[in-house]
Structure 1
């Protein structure tokens, strides 16, 4: 470990107050001064070593399309990066385990078996291999190592290795505290993003003006999990003209207005959990400048270490689904307009740029890993 890191942590805690920063919009952040100083230090000193071990496609081959693409885009951006990556592990502050949970599932899961054990055993053996080959894992018991996994099964791939589950920083889309695998304050909630065209990841980003958003709330999707059937039961179909809630978008409806057009024409976009707490609709709503309404108890929201989600979203408890319209209508228009403006301002922090840009999604993920690592270093006793 770099002996200066505890000092860096104290430097962040006592960061000078930010008066003005044209790159950062203060209302989005829990403490913009802390975030900026931490980010500046990351840019200045952070070095990451990527283990070269492991064969493709599970290792080193990013999967860039679909709802689990976050892990692949991070891998791609990290491997191509020259600022943070070091070839010398002795200079590294963090060690990246470059596997894809999506590729792991595709390569090893036996359809119909309902067993994830082969996946977790495979990853356990990999960690044991690098621990035997290199001194870095044993030196920290894995606490300065990290993985990035967006597939729903990501948390369950670590369960056969105690130190991997307990100590390693896990950037997971499935950031569910109730399952006791995701550890708040250590692990990172990874945004789930739908990438339909890898060559054009930012296609369709943007939205309508508030005056062109006649729909109060919109959702269309499969009815899996415990939350969505409740949503459909109370608000489905054409029961209420303000609430457009569908079990997938009916063909007649989609001919008049596509799924994306619905999101761009809605004030609020509902983001209920499916089988797991995460939903790509949260980032889709941000892309289409629609205020996200998150319905997923026990879900740690992405970058909540630094972002104030109350500034640009609404969180509704699962038990309050019958009161959903009442809750949304009780929000004053002035507050809604502020939230909608904030959605537009936070958008840049959730973009996968073909070549990463400062403060974009790649850098926000890496920052949260860095930030949580610093906050879990034991400060020396005085």
Structure 2
């Protein structure tokens, strides 16, 4: 394996991922084989009245810290644990993402999280909290233009950091999310610049 190009969702520099040789892939799934673009998009920025949203299982050490500081602490910060199972709960999760300015993407057991791509699907600016994570397609995408990358040690200052981002900068990042969205989409038949092509391009760059 050390003589191969590894294409990994878990692009962790402390677990053998080599920048310059290996390929970081998005962690995502095909939501509907018949309609993989179902529910795509979200509310315009002016109608996103939630500052930050997170809901999910307590995998790993970081997510409990997030809830310790922010669960039920501030009405503008919708930070939850696991949502109840069922279709209604899943739709509630999606509607929260569609209505939030920032979607919190903390690491779980591994450095990557499907919430990063989900946030991009629903045009919510991802806030990646995962030290040692190499973002997907970082060779060609400027993640600083459409996401916030936060050090794990700064979770306690999460709201202050988000509020310190000027509205103009937020709008630029949200527009950036919409622009890069096509690179994270899966189609039944590949479409130029989509996830399939981006993956092949990343591997080709390393050959």
TM range (shorter): over 0.9
- Per-residue deviation at 1:308? 0.5
**Distance of 1:198 and 1:189 partners within structure 2:** 24
Name the structure 1 match of 2:197. 363
Alignment partner of 2:56 out of 221, 225, 240: 221
**Distance of 1:325 and 1:250 partners within structure 2:** 26
Determine if the alignment matches structure 1 residue 241 to structure 2 residue 75: yes
Name the structure 1 match of 2:168. 334
Name the structure 1 match of 2:180. 346
Name the structure 1 match of 2:8. 172
Q: Which runs of 5+ in 1 are unaligned?
A: 1-164, 374-382
- What are the superposed Cα offsets for residues 82-125 of structure 1, whole Å, 9 maximum, x if unpaired? xxxxxxxxxxxxxxxxxxxxxxxxxxxxxxxxxxxxxxxxxxxx
- What are the superposed Cα offsets for residues 32-68 of structure 1, whole Å, 9 maximum, x if unpaired? xxxxxxxxxxxxxxxxxxxxxxxxxxxxxxxxxxxxx
Name the structure 2 match of 1:127. none
Name the structure 1 match of 2:106. 272
**Distance of 1:258 and 1:230 partners within structure 2:** 24
1:1-40 to structure 2, matched below 5 A, reads none
For the Cα contact (< 8 Å) 1:194–1:284, is it kept in 2?
no
For the Cα contact (< 8 Å) 2:102–2:126, is it kept in 1?
yes
**Distance of 2:84 and 2:64 partners within structure 1:** 17
Name the structure 2 match of 1:297. 131
**Distance of 1:246 and 1:331 partners within structure 2:** 23
**Distance of 1:271 and 1:260 partners within structure 2:** 14
For the Cα contact (< 8 Å) 1:215–1:266, is it kept in 2?
yes
SS in 1 for 2:73: strand
Pairs aligned (count): 204
- Per-residue deviation at 1:250? 5.7
Alignment partner of 1:262 out of 84, 96, 110: 96
Q: TM-score, normalised on structure 1? A: 0.52
- Per-residue deviation at 1:199? 2.1
Q: Which structure has more helix as a fraction of its residues?
A: 1
Give every structure 1 segment of 4 or more consecutive aligned residues whose post-TM-superposition deviation is greater than 3 Å.
none
Q: Which runs of 5+ in 2 are unaligned?
A: none
Q: TM-score, normalised on structure 2? A: 0.95
- Per-residue deviation at 1:359? 0.7
For the Cα contact (< 8 Å) 2:30–2:186, is it kept in 1?
no
- Per-residue deviation at 1:370? 0.5
- Per-residue deviation at 1:198? 2.1
**Distance of 2:188 and 2:27 partners within structure 1:** 17
- Per-residue deviation at 1:224? 1.3
Name the structure 1 match of 2:153. 319
Alignment partner of 1:308 out of 142, 147, 153: 142
